[in-house]
Amino acid sequence: MSQIAKLSALSLAIALSIPEVSAHPLFSGKVVSRADLLPEYDYVVVGAGTSGLTVANRLTEQKNVNVLVIEAGDLDKNEDFVTIPGLAGGAAGTKYDWNVTYTANEGLGGRKVPIPQGKIVGGSSKLNRLIFDRGSKSDYDGWESLGNKGWNFAGLLPYFKKNEKFTPPTKEIAAQYDIKNDLKNHGDKGYMQTTFSPFFWPTTKNIVKATKALGIPINDQATGNAIGGFFCPHNQDPVTVTRSSADEAYYDTAVKRQNFHVITGQQVSRIVTKKSNGAVKVTGIEFASSASAKRQSVKVKQEAIIAAGALFTPQLLQVSGIGDPALLKTINVTTVVELPAVGHNLHDHVLLAVANTLNTTLITSGSLRSNATFAAEARKQYDTEKKGPLTSPTGDFLLFLPLQTYSNATSAIASQAKAGKASASLPSDTPPEVAKGYQAQYASLNEKLVAKDSAILEIIWGDGTVILGLQHPYSRGSVKAASSSVFDAPLADVGFLRNPIDVALLREGIHFARRLVKTEGITELKPVEVAPGANVTSDADLDAFIRRSSSTLFHPAGSCKMGPKDQGGVVDSELKVYGVEGLRIVDASVMPILPAAHTMTTVYAVAEKAADIIRGSAAYKAACLE
Ligand SMILES: Cc1cc2nc3c(=O)[nH]c(=O)nc-3n(C[C@H](O)[C@H](O)[C@H](O)COP(=O)(O)OP(=O)(O)OC[C@H]3O[C@@H](n4cnc5c(N)ncnc54)[C@H](O)[C@@H]3O)c2cc1C
For 585-606, the pLDDT digits (tens) are 999 999 999 999 999 999 999 9
Is 298 inside a domain boundary? Answer: no
Q: Give whole-number Cα distances, 492 to 4, 93, 198, 432, in Å.
A: 39, 18, 38, 20
Confidence band, pLDDT 50/70/90 cuts, at residue 448: very high
Atom of ligand 1 nearest to the CA of 269: 41
CA distance 564 to 233: 35
CB of 343 within 6 A of ligand 1: the answer is no
**Cβ–Cβ < 8 Å for 466, 506:** no
Atom of ligand 1 nearest to the CA of 116: 53
Active site residue 598: yes
For 227-270, the pLDDT digits (tens) are 999 999 999 999 999 999 999 999 999 999 999 999 999 999 99
Cα 123 to ligand 1 centroid, rounded to whole Å: 5
Annotated binding site for FAD: 50-51, 268
Checking if the pLDDT of 290 tops 60, the result is yes
Spatial CA neighbour of 347 closest among 434, 459, 225, 406 = 434
Q: What angle do CA 406, 185, 174 make, to 5 degrees?
A: 70
| Bridge partners, residue 24, by sequence | 32
What's the rounded mean pLDDT across residues 402-412? Answer: 98
pLDDT for residue 4: 36
Q: 10 Å Cβ neighbour count for 353?
A: 16
pLDDT for residue 32: 55
Cα 125 to ligand 1 centroid, rounded to whole Å: 6
pLDDT for residue 8: 31
For 106-127, the pLDDT digits (tens) are 999 999 999 999 999 999 999 9
CB of 163 within 6 A of ligand 1: the answer is no
Cα 361 to ligand 1 centroid, rounded to whole Å: 38
What's the rounded mean pLDDT across residues 490-517? Answer: 98
Predicted TM-score (pTM) of the model is: 0.95
**Cβ–Cβ < 8 Å for 309, 73:** no
CB of 267 within 6 A of ligand 1: the answer is yes
Type of residue numbered 275:
K
What's the rounded mean pLDDT across residues 190-211? Answer: 98
Q: Give whole-number Cα distances, 306 to 52, 69, 241, 433, in Å.
A: 8, 10, 32, 23
pLDDT for residue 626: 81
Is 510 inside a domain boundary? Answer: no
Atom of ligand 1 nearest to the CA of 115: 53
Cα 118 to ligand 1 centroid, rounded to whole Å: 5
**Cβ–Cβ < 8 Å for 458, 399:** yes
Checking if the pLDDT of 17 tops 60, the result is no
Checking if the pLDDT of 132 tops 70, the result is yes
Confidence band, pLDDT 50/70/90 cuts, at residue 10: very low
Checking if the pLDDT of 45 tops 60, the result is yes
What's the rounded mean pLDDT across residues 42-67? Answer: 97
Atom of ligand 1 nearest to the CA of 73: 47
CB of 285 within 6 A of ligand 1: the answer is no
Cα 359 to ligand 1 centroid, rounded to whole Å: 38
> By percentage, how much of the chain surpasses pLDDT 70?
94
Checking if the pLDDT of 21 tops 70, the result is no
CB of 250 within 6 A of ligand 1: the answer is no
Checking if the pLDDT of 34 tops 60, the result is no
Is 25 inside a domain boundary? Answer: yes
What's the rounded mean pLDDT across residues 336-364? Answer: 98
For 530-571, the pLDDT digits (tens) are 999 999 999 999 999 999 999 999 999 999 999 999 999 999
CB of 71 within 6 A of ligand 1: the answer is yes
Q: How far is CA 89 from the centre of its chain?
A: 13
Active site residue 347: no
Spatial CA neighbour of 468 closest among 360, 558, 362, 545 = 545
Q: Give whole-number Cα distances, 160 to 150, 194, 260, 475, 603, in Å.
A: 15, 12, 24, 28, 9
Range of the domain at 21: 1-36
Is 372 inside a domain boundary? Answer: no
| Bridge partners, residue 470, by sequence | 350, 457
CB of 490 within 6 A of ligand 1: the answer is no
pLDDT for residue 392: 97
Is 23 inside a domain boundary? Answer: yes
What's the rounded mean pLDDT across residues 473-488? Answer: 98
Cα 504 to ligand 1 centroid, rounded to whole Å: 30
Q: Find the catalytic residue in 186, 261, 344, 555.
A: 555
Atom of ligand 1 nearest to the CA of 607: 25
The residue contributing the CA closest to ligand 1 atom 46 is 119
Spatial CA neighbour of 596 closest among 551, 553, 545 = 553
Annotated binding site: 50-51, 268
- How far apart are the two ends of the chain, measured CA to CA in Å? 31
CB of 606 within 6 A of ligand 1: the answer is no
> Hey, which of 115, 194, 297, 600 would you mutate to test ligand 1's pocket, going by the most ligand atoms within 8 Å of its Cβ?
600
pLDDT for residue 28: 28
Domain count, the chain: 1
Cα 129 to ligand 1 centroid, rounded to whole Å: 12
Buried b (16+ CB within 10 A) or exposed e, 207-225: bbbbbeebebebbbbbbbb
Q: What is the mean pLDDT of the chain?
A: 94
CA distance 595 to 138: 9
For 157-184, the pLDDT digits (tens) are 999 999 999 999 999 999 999 999 899 9
CB of 308 within 6 A of ligand 1: the answer is yes
Atom of ligand 1 nearest to the CA of 122: 49
CB of 413 within 6 A of ligand 1: the answer is no
Is 32 inside a domain boundary? Answer: yes
What's the rounded mean pLDDT across residues 200-214? Answer: 98
Checking if the pLDDT of 16 tops 80, the result is no
Checking if the pLDDT of 484 tops 80, the result is yes
